[in-house]
Amino acid sequence: MPAPAAGTGSSASAVLRRQRLRESAARTYARSFPIVPVRASGMTVEGADGRRYLDCLSGAGTLALGHNHPVVLAAIRRTLDSGAPLHLLDLATAEKDDFTTALFESLPPAFADGARVHFCGPAGTDAVEAALKLMQTATGRSGALAFTGAYHGMTAGSLALTGNVAVKEPLPGGGEVVRLPYPYGYRCPFGVGGEAGAELSATYVERLLDDPAGGVVPPAAMVLEAVQGEGGVVPAPDDWLRAMRRITAERRIPLIVDEVQTGVGRTGAMWAVEHSGIVPDAMVLSKAIGGSLPLAVVVYREEYDGWRPGAHTGTFRGNTLAMAAGAATLRHVAANGLAERAAVVGDRMVERLRALAGELPAIGDVRGRGLMIGVELVDPAAEPDACGARPAAPELAVRVREACLARGLIVELGGRHDAVLRLLPPLTITDEQAAAVLDRLADAIAAAAA
Ligand SMILES: Cc1ncc(COP(=O)(O)O)c(C=O)c1O
């Protein structure tokens, strides 16, 4: 289809219609939110039709400071005005040097001291691939341990498709993934819930790894999220995370923590690993570290740096603007205590949502950490299981998302059954905005469940 002539057919409905006709069937968020944003500031997005929305999606958790934060815009403008090259592969620049300094200053010292950073292609999934390859190279093993509900990106097959033998040679080939039970209290894989479920998970993982007939070939790494995002906003208990660290360390299995979504203050600490105090062998970082522009890195303990030059290369690894915006964001979050503020506001929102669950039986569970909050919707008429959880209500969740949008609130779904409303507001959310989000959400759930 030819492109429309300039100035014609630019109404919101025409733009949406052309998108439906020209973009792939894999369109995702565009299906949930049929709006055409034209302006955005902080937590507010304005559509082409003049309607304004409070954005609780924040670019899937990317916008720590909300849309177009003045600090981010100033960093971008400064860089543009300086005449710095905007694209530079992985050459050294003052902006990259400064971003690296800001990043290392933000990381827990026990991890950052003696760590290395690798700049990846600008998506979280590429940094996950890099971390896994790094540990495959370091251990000479191929497989990995991962968890039920985990989400780490979309490109698991990309290396297998690559023909360049030089970069594949040190790797022992595509390995298998052993799936382990994540501690999800509400829908406990062991049917017991709570702390007991998390303890069973840790015991199971440890005994499975030690069972000579357990079927687990020694893996290259364990990969986990400290709070599962796409899996339905499931925070792992700190004791369980410490158990995973101990179990992997005792068996010399590198631990990769994927902080793509949890990083930069989101969970009420600069990095989610700080809650439990664990020191991983590698951390995968993306989303908010680019200050709303694409950027992804893997940071890892120096002793794993067994890569050959070019072992994980890629064209778009030197986005100067993203590095400037990212450094400004990291420093602004730290200097203004925004992680601590996320903890306070998040706790308050969870408390109010739990009170609301008493009035609205369609709310089965409210959970989260900081400003990563999940509201799991259930069928209140169905029988609860042994843990007290009723069946998930994905159709109700879709109706609630639509009712939210009609009330000027952008909320996306996630979780095992796509029945978890996920709140990821910017860390800069005001008390008034938090109250408005909860009012609109409560109204939408009540209306959709009626
Ligand atoms: C924990 C986690 N890891 C990796 C990814 C993949 O990141 P990207 O979509 O930038 O490839 C995501 C994306 O949501 C994520 O939440």
Closest approach atom of ligand 1 to CA 128: 4
Ligand 1 atom closest to the CA of 294, numbered from 1: 10
How far is C-alpha 88 from the geometric centre of its chain's CA atoms? 27
Asked if the structure places residue 429 within a domain, the reply is: no
Instruction: State the Cα–Cα distance between residues 342 and 270, nearest whole angstrom.
Output: 10
Alpha helices of 183-237 — where are they, by DSSP H? 194-210
- Series of mean pLDDT values for 10-residue runs along the chain (450 residues): 46 94 92 95 96 97 98 98 95 97 98 96 94 94 90 64 47 72 96 95 98 91 95 97 98 97 98 98 98 98 94 92 98 98 98 97 98 98 94 98 98 95 98 98 97
Q: Is 281 in the pocket of ligand 1 (CB under 6 A)?
A: no
For position 26, what pLDDT does the model report? 87
Q: Which residue has the tokens 């698991």?
A: 156
What distance in angstroms lies between residue 360's CA and the mean position of ligand 1's atoms?
A: 32
Cα 192 to ligand 1 centre (Å): 30
pLDDT of the residue at 164: 43
Query: What spacing in Å lies between the alpha carbon of 345 and ligand 1's midpoint?
Result: 24
Q: What is 125-155 written as a DSSP string? A: HHHHHHHHHHHHHHHS---EEEETT----S-
What total number of domains does the chain contain?
1
Q: Which atom of ligand 1 is nearest to the CA of 122?
A: 10
Helix (H/G/I), strand (E/B), else coil: 144? strand
Q: Which atom of ligand 1 is nearest to the CA of 296?
A: 10
Residue 402 located in a structural domain? no
Atom of ligand 1 nearest to the CA of 287: 10
Q: Which residue has the tokens 């030690």?
A: 210
Cβ–Cβ contacts within 10 Å for residue 25, how many?
6
Closest atom of ligand 1 to 259 CA is 1
Q: What is the pLDDT of residue 31?
A: 93
Question: Angle at Cα 11 formed by Cα 8 and Cα 12, nearest 5°?
Answer: 145
Yes or no: say if 41 and 68 are a contact pair by the CB < 8 Å rule. yes
Q: 123: Cβ below 6 Å to ligand 1? A: yes
Contact 198, 109 (CB under 8 A): no
Closest to 42 measured CA to CA, from 73, 78, 75: 73
Residue 259, ligand 1, Cβ within 6 A: no
421 Cα: distance to centroid of ligand 1 (angstroms): 18
CATH of the domain at 226: 3.40.640.10
Domain with 211, as residue range(s), is 90-335
CA distance 149 to 158: 22
Examine residue 304 and state whether it is found in any structural domain, yes or no: yes
Q: Is the CB of 151 under 6 A from ligand 1?
A: yes
Q: Is the pTM of this model over 0.85?
A: yes
> Which ligand 1 atom is the nearest neighbour of the CA of 261?
16
Q: Is the CB of 230 under 6 A from ligand 1?
A: yes
β-partners of residue 87 are: 319
Q: Ligand 1 centroid to 337 CA: how many Å?
A: 25
Smallest CA-to-CA distance from 109 within 248, 277, 317 is with: 277
CA of residue 420 to ligand 1 center, whole Å: 18
Whether 195 is covered by a domain: the verdict is yes
- Is residue 379 within 8 A of residue 391, CB to CB? The reply is yes
Ligand 1 close to Cβ of residue 261 (< 6 A): yes
Contact 1, 22 (CB under 8 A): yes
- Ligand 1 neighbour 128 (Cβ under 6 A): yes
Atom 13 (ligand 1) nearest CA: 153
Q: How far is the CA of 103 from the centre of ligand 1 (A)?
A: 19
Contact 141, 217 (CB under 8 A): yes
Residue 262 within any structural domain of the chain: yes
| Residue 267, ligand 1, Cβ within 6 A | no
Is residue 145 a contact partner of residue 253, using CB atoms and an 8 Å limit? Answer: yes
Residue 159 within a domain: yes
153 lines ligand 1 (CB under 6 A): yes
CB count within 10 Å of CB 102 equals 18
Query: Would the CB of 152 count as within 6 Å of ligand 1?
Result: yes
DSSP sequence for 26-54: T--HHHH----EEEEEBTEEEETTS-EEE
357 located within any domain: no
Q: Which residue has the tokens 């827990």?
A: 108
Q: How far is CA 208 from CA 118, 143, 181, 195, 236, in A?
A: 33, 15, 11, 20, 20
Distance set, CA 202 to CA 181, 183, 242, 373 (Å)? 9, 9, 10, 24
- In a domain, residue 393? The reply is no
